[in-house]
């Protein structure tokens, strides 16, 4: 049974997503508990899978029993099992948040809503496990299509943002597919392990180089790497507040993980296109993204938009980490990816709760937060510590290992970029804290609504896991170093 | 599109063409294991016949209502697909490994045959329903509404 766990993890959200219209049309009240139970079971199975991979090492799951180059395989190794664990836990917390009573009742549309959410999760699971370039494309599109629909769900401005996301996302997917086409034309295979054997002989081929570029730009749009990030801020600002945490913490990271898979497991860390090492290119763009993202976040007034730009800067930091070309930087980058998923989720939980409890949308309204319970600000302090990188939190250790990797690689510009991005992050959080703690403008006392239990659970889990990831960073990094290092790095 | 087409020629030709297209879809579906074709193509051909149905006879006619009712079978095809794959999983093989499709009294080769046909039927049903739902939602979409979520 152990070797079937990847398929079971994938089938749980998928099967429930299909059954949801059938079950939910009769009893709409069932949708919420069913979705939460499915996510909880998925998290449990993912944990069993992780333990299994730790004990026996990774496996390749062959669909239909056909061996790899002919059939389709899923890779269940150290990297995938850790990421699936993080993904399923974050998905569970996000689904709890989505179903909170804080938000307006969806009426009959609740059925379609949960179907989309569960399909999104299924698509993300597929991206993490995919061992085949075309499969990766399919699951990218499955998750992206659900993402477009979820963004546009709010109507009004969200429709425009969702449409923009759709156009740019489809453009990115087409570019990626074009790149896959070039690879297939040159090598005659789409399986990642098989490609990894054939690519080294074709390094001088222009078709392969162009294919790499197309894939990188395509996935760059999907992961909102800074020059290609146009869709993200609007989409996250106007998306329904209940789905933003899920999109922010999972979707862009999954695309980033897909690029890590291709870069290190297919092309190899030493890949060169047109005399430029791919790692250098990725690291350079990552550093630019880290700086510009943080800089743009500093100039925002809308809280959700500010956090969205903060997320852009963190995508850049992760890319800087993985592009250092040594084990320390790579595992630091992956660790930062895990932490960032938690932090982004937590920040958007916080922003969503504020909008619906107190009507606070912009930084100016934050002075009203003094009527709120103190722990609400405390959650933000913990998450901000992690975002900035202050010691007991996960964010600090992620940045620490990225900087250690940069020192090891003697890449001092990367260190400078990480430090400046950190200072800018500090600056925009100081802007928030100044409003919360220093502003003496007496806001009118709102009728304080009780904070729903589901929101408390989500905020508590997010801030606690930011700290726990920091405390357990040694073990997590050690595990990543043992199991998730790609061959040839 | 909401009412019947005016021209008698169009209506009569469609009466002949629609069953023919559906028959061809069935042929492509079951021939898919031996030659070009399969579930996806069959689904597309089936969709064209259904779209023709409500283009010509209108959505309010008995035929059109039948097509509209098919939209309720949204995930049915996918359920067949996942169900067959899941049965293989329960039988001890990988997902979609038809050899482990535990149907009593069948040889391994026959199990594969049955498995492939069932999966293809699932794919065809899903493609057909998706095609119609795209056309219906483009042609008869609601006026713009603001939702609160």
Cβ <8 Å between B147 and A61: no
The whole-number pLDDT of residue B139 equals 75
CA-CA distance, A70 to B5, in Å (whole number)?
A: 49
Q: Distance, in angstroms, between A11 CA and closest chain B CA?
A: 8
User: Which structural domain range is residue B79 located in?
Assistant: 8-139
CA-CA distance, A446 to A448, in Å (whole number)?
A: 6
Residues A232, A224 contacting (CB under 8 angstroms) = yes
A372 SS3 class: coil
Confidence class of residue B94 from pLDDT cuts 50, 70 and 90?
confident
Does B36 fall in a domain?
yes
Q: Distance, in angstroms, between A1 CA and closest chain B CA?
A: 8
Residue A357: CB atoms within 10 A of its CB come to 19
Both tokens assigned to B112: 């594969």
Which span out of A141-150, A475-484, B91-100, B112-121 was modeled with the highest average pLDDT?
Answer: A141-150
Nearest residue on chain A to B83, judged by CA atoms?
A: A15
Nearest residue on chain B to A64, judged by CA atoms?
A: B97
Q: Distance, in angstroms, between A149 CA and closest chain B CA?
A: 13
Does A484 fall in a domain?
yes
Does B146 fall in a domain?
no
Q: Distance, in angstroms, between B147 CA and closest chain A CA?
A: 5
A80 versus B103: which is more confidently predicted?
A80
Give the closest of A14, A18, A61 to B94, CB-based. Answer: A61
CA-CA distance, B53 to B11, in Å (whole number)?
A: 9
Does A345 fall in a domain?
yes
Residues B96, B87 contacting (CB under 8 angstroms) = no
Does B37 fall in a domain?
yes
**How many domains in chain B?**
1
A145 touches chain B (CB under 8 A): no
Does A286 fall in a domain?
no
The per-residue b/e assignment along A302-316, b for 16 or more CB within 10 angstroms, e otherwise, is ebbbbbbbbbbbbbb
Phi/psi at A352 (5° precision): -65, -45
Does B54 fall in a domain?
yes
Does B78 fall in a domain?
yes
A442 touches chain B (CB under 8 A): no
> Could you give the C-alpha distances from A246 to A124, A158, A314, B26, in angstroms and in order?
11, 16, 16, 42
| First-last CA distance in chain A | 33
Residues A115, A20 contacting (CB under 8 angstroms) = yes
Residues A17, A146 contacting (CB under 8 angstroms) = no
All residue ranges of chain A with pLDDT < 70 are 1, 439-449
A60 SS3 class: strand
Does B144 fall in a domain?
no
**How many domains in chain A?**
1
Give the closest of B74, B82, B97 to A15, CB-based. Answer: B82
The whole-number pLDDT of residue B146 equals 47
- Eight-state DSSP code of residue A472: T
A8 touches chain B (CB under 8 A): yes
A97 touches chain B (CB under 8 A): no
Q: Distance, in angstroms, between B98 CA and closest chain A CA?
A: 7
The whole-number pLDDT of residue B145 equals 47
Give contacts of A 58-87 with B, CB under 8 A: 61-65
CA-CA distance, B128 to A99, in Å (whole number)?
A: 33
ipTM of the complex: 0.80
Does A320 fall in a domain?
yes
The whole-number pLDDT of residue B2 equals 62
The whole-number pLDDT of residue B5 equals 78
B-chain CB neighbours of A154 within 8 Å are 147-149
Task: Indicate the burial class of B69 (C-beta count within 10 angstroms; 0-12, 13-18, 19 or more).
Answer: exposed
Does B1 fall in a domain?
no
CA-CA distance, A265 to A269, in Å (whole number)?
A: 8
Residue with structure tokens 């050690």?
A: A478
pLDDT in tens, B51-64: 888 888 887 788 77
Phi-psi region of A179 (alpha: psi -120 to 50; beta: other; left: phi over 0): alpha
Residues A81, A126 contacting (CB under 8 angstroms) = no
B-chain CB neighbours of A61 within 8 Å are 94
Cβ <8 Å between A18 and B147: no
Confidence class of residue B142 from pLDDT cuts 50, 70 and 90?
low
User: Which structural domain range is residue A351 located in?
Assistant: 293-489
CA-CA distance, A358 to A377, in Å (whole number)?
A: 13
CA-CA distance, B81 to A274, in Å (whole number)?
A: 45
Does B88 fall in a domain?
yes
CA-CA distance, A287 to A320, in Å (whole number)?
A: 6
Q: Which residues, other chains included, contact A363 with Cβ-Cβ below 8 Å and sequence gap of 6+? A: A301, A303, A306, A431, A432, A435
Does A263 fall in a domain?
no
- Eight-state DSSP code of residue A103: S
Q: Which of A5, A63, A65, A151 to mutate to test the interface with B (most CBs of B within 10 A)?
A: A65
CA-CA distance, A3 to B32, in Å (whole number)?
A: 31
């Amino acid at each position: 049974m152990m070797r079937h766990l990847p398929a079971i993890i994938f089938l749980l959200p998928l099967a429930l997503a299909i059954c949801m219209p059938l079950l939910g049309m009769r009893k709409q009240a069932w949708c919420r508990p069913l979705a939460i139970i499915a996510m909880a079971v998925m998290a449990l199975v993912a944990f069993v899978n992780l333990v299994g991979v730790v004990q026996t090492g990774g496996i390749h799951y062959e669909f239909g029993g056909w061996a790899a180059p002919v059939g389709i395989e899923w890779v269940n190794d150290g990297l995938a099992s850790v990421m699936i664990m993080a993904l399923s836990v974050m998905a569970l917390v996000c689904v709890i948040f989505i179903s909170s009573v804080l938000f307006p009742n969806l009426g009959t549309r609740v059925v379609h809503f949960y179907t989309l959410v569960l399909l999104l999760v299924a698509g993300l699971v597929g991206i993490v496990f995919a061992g085949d370039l075309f499969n990766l494309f399919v699951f990218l599109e499955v998750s992206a299509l659900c993402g477009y629909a979820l963004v546009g769900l709010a109507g009004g401005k969200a429709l425009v943002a969702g449409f923009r996301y759709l156009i740019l996302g489809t453009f990115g997917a087409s570019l990626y597919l074009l790149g896959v086409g070039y690879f297939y034309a040159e090598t005659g295979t789409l399986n990642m392990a098989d490609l990894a054997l054939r690519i080294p002989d074709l390094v001088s081929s222009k078709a392969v180089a162009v294919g790499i570029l197309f894939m990188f730009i395509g996935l760059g749009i999907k992961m909102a790497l800074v020059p290609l990030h146009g869709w993200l801020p609007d989409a996250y600002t106007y998306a329904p507040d209940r789905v933003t945490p899920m999109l922010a913490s999972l979707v862009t990271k999954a695309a980033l993980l897909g690029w890590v898979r291709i870069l290190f497991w297919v092309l190899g860390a030493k890949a060169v296109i047109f005399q430029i090492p791919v790692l250098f290119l990725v690291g350079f763009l990552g550093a630019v993204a880290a700086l510009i993202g943080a800089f743009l976040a500093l100039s925002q007034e809308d809280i959700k938009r500010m956090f969205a730009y903060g997320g852009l800067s963190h995508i850049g930091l992760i890319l800087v980490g993985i592009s250092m070309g040594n084990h320390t930087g790579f595992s630091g980058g992956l660790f930062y990816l895990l932490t960032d998923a938690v932090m982004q989720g937590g920040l958007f939980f916080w922003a969503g709760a504020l909008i619906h409890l107190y009507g606070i949308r912009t930084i100016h309204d934050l002075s009203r937060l003094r009527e709120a319970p103190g722990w609400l600000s405390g959650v933000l302090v913990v998450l901000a510590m992690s975002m900035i990188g202050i010691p007991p939190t996960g964010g600090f250790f992620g940045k620490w290992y990225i900087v250690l990797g940069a020192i090891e690689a003697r890449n001092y510009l990367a260190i400078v970029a990480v430090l400046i991005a950190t200072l800018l992050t500090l600056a925009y959080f100081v802007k928030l804290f100044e409003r919360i703690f220093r502003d003496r403008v007496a806001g009118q006392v709102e009728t304080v609504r009780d904070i729903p239990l589901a929101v408390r659970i989500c905020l508590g889990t997010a801030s606690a896991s930011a700290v726990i990831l920091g405390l357990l960073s040694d073990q997590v990094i050690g595990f990543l170093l043992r199991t998730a290092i790609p061959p040839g790095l | 599109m909401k009412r019947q087409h005016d021209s008698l020629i169009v209506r009569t030709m469609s009466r002949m063409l629609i069953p023919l297209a559906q028959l061809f879809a069935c042929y492509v579906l079951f021939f898919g294991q031996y030659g070009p074709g399969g579930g996806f193509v069959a689904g597309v051909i089936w969709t064209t016949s259904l779209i023709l149905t409500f283009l010509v006879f209108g959505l309010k006619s008995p035929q059109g209502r039948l097509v509209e009712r098919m939209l309720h079978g949204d995930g049915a095809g996918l359920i067949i697909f996942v169900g067959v794959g899941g049965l293989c999983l329960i039988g001890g093989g990988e997902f979609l490994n038809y050899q482990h499709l535990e149907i009593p009294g069948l040889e391994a080769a026959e199990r594969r045959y049955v498995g492939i046909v069932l999966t293809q039927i699932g794919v065809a049903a899903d493609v057909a329903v998706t095609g119609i739902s795209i056309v219906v939602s483009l042609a008869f979409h609601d006026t713009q509404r603001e939702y609160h979520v």
